[in-house]
Amino acid sequence: MPETSHLKLAHLYPAEMNCYGDRGNVIALRQRCLWRGIELEVTPVEPGDEVDWAGFDLAFFGGGQDSGQALIARDLLDRHGPGLRAAIDDGLVLLAICGGYQLLGHSFLTHSGERLPGLGALDVHTVGGSQRLIGNSVVEADLATTDTMQIEGDGWPSVVKLVGFENHSGRTYHGTGVRSLGRVLAGHGDNGEDGWGGAIYRNTIGCYLHGSLLPKNPQLTDHLIRLALHRRYGPHTAIAPLDAALELRAQETMTSRLLRVH
């Protein structure tokens, strides 16, 4: 890795798509980069903005209400469809939460019967239900299986119990073109039925975990940074471990609380 590394992140529709502090994911990425001397340049992508997706290393797409999703779904598809799909196929490191995850799939049929078209980058589709799926959640993920490339470690074990908070009416179902991020150990997950929590395609991860997710789960934050560095600067991009004692204590407290057998 060069002495001064620089990564570029696109933040999709930060005004319309920002539930439960999802913006905190961008702050966590920027801060953990900064602590390592890596500059993370963040570009908000607002409705109407033209974007050269090939110029970005990372992207973040947060959750939103059905009404917020309806405002941007057409812009996402018409303006960014080919460019963003190509970048995802090319290994863009993208984290999408809840409403953002839904819109990366084929479609979202909302609870009120409106069909929102999705980008079709992830082989998933979503159908709204009458009962919202709400609560704290734990998903056991093997991050090693999310790599599209062999990259050096960051000192974390690859299996991690991700802690988050979910609140969605949409039920997301996986097709054969995605892998699961992990099993739901607590909470509802993608649809409350099949036990899957999140989906992965190349370096794109979609899941229902608000929280904000990344401040609560530094293992995933570092994993995304590592993937982006590898893609930008090539192999041998191991990153220095950081003290995460407080984050890990909070994570362990939540997992033991949520997984306690009564």
For residues 84 and 159, is the Cβ–Cβ distance under 8 A?
Answer: no
- Which residue of 5, 18, 146, 169 would you call a contact of ligand GLN, by CB under 6 A? 169
> Closest approach of Cβ 246 to ligand GLN, in Å?
26
Active site residue 98: yes
Query: Would you count residue 189 as binding ligand GLN (CB under 6 A)?
Result: no
Query: Would you count residue 172 as binding ligand GLN (CB under 6 A)?
Result: no
Query: Would you count residue 211 as binding ligand GLN (CB under 6 A)?
Result: no
Closer of 64 and 215 to ligand GLN (Cβ): 64
> Closest approach of Cβ 25 to ligand GLN, in Å?
13
Q: Which of residues 119-158 bind ligand GLN (CB under 6 A)?
A: none
For 69, phi and psi rounded to 5 degrees? -65, -40
From the list 80, 210, 223, 230, the catalytic residue is 210
Find all residues with CB under 8 Å of 12, minimum gap 6, and list them. Answer: 45, 59, 60, 61, 62, 76, 100
| Distance from C-alpha of 44 to C-alpha of 126, rounded to nearest angstrom | 26
Residue nearest to ligand GLN (CB): 63
- Which residue of 170, 197, 206, 211 would you call a contact of ligand GLN, by CB under 6 A? 170
Query: Would you count residue 168 as binding ligand GLN (CB under 6 A)?
Result: yes
Active site residue 125: no
Q: Which of residues 4-63 bind ligand GLN (CB under 6 A)?
A: 19, 63
- Which residue of 15, 39, 55, 65 would you call a contact of ligand GLN, by CB under 6 A? 65
> Closest approach of Cβ 116 to ligand GLN, in Å?
9
By annotation, the residues acting in catalysis are 98, 210
The site for ligand GLN (CB under 6 A) is made up of 19, 63-66, 69, 98-99, 167-170
